[in-house]
Structure 1
Amino acid sequence: MYSTERLTLRAWQASDLPPFAALNKDSDVMRYFPSVLSRAQSDAMAAHIQSKLADNGFGFWAVELTETREFIGFVGLNRPTFDLGHQPFVEIGWRLASPHWGKGYATEAAQKALAIGFEDAELPAIYAFTTESNLPSQAVMKKLGMTPAAPSTFSHPHLAADHPLATHVLYAISKPTWQADHAD
Structure 2
Amino acid sequence: MLRAWKPSDLEPFAELNADREGMAYFPAPLDRVASDALADRISATIAGEGWGWWAVELASTGAFIGFTGLSRTTFDASFTPAVEVGWRLARSAWGHGYATEAATAAVGFGFEVLGLTEIVSFTVVGNLRSRAVMERLGMVHDPREDFDHPRLPVGHALRRHVLYRLARESG
Compute the displacement of 1:28 (Å). Answer: 1.1
Partner of 1:173: 166
For 1:93, what is the secondary structure of its paired residue?
A: strand
Deviation per residue, 1:55-86 (Å, 9 max, x gap): 22210000000111000000000011113344
For 2:30, what is the secondary structure of its paired residue?
A: coil
Partner of 1:28: 21
Moved more, 14-23 or 141-150: 141-150
Partner of 2:122: 129
Q: For the Cα contact (< 8 Å) 1:76–1:92, is it kept in 2? A: yes
Deviation per residue, 1:70-127 (Å, 9 max, x gap): 0000000001111334465000000000011000000000000000000000001000
Question: 1:4-83 counterparts in 2 under 5 A?
Answer: 8-83=1-76
> Any unmatched runs of 5+ in structure 1?
1-7, 179-184
**Matches of 1:124 and 1:86, distance apart in 2:** 14
**Matches of 2:149 and 2:80, distance apart in 1:** 18
Percent identity over the alignment?
51
Amino acid in the other structure paired with 1:152: E
Q: For the Cα contact (< 8 Å) 1:21–1:37, is it kept in 2? A: yes
**Matches of 2:45 and 2:92, distance apart in 1:** 27
Q: For the Cα contact (< 8 Å) 2:143–2:162, is it kept in 1? A: no
The TM-score, its normalising length taken from structure 2, stands at 0.97
Deviation per residue, 1:8-58 (Å, 9 max, x gap): 100000000000000000111100001000000000000001111122221
CA RMSD of aligned residues (A): 1.1
The TM-score, its normalising length taken from structure 1, stands at 0.90
Moved segments of 4+, more than 3 Å: 85-88
> Any unmatched runs of 5+ in structure 2?
none
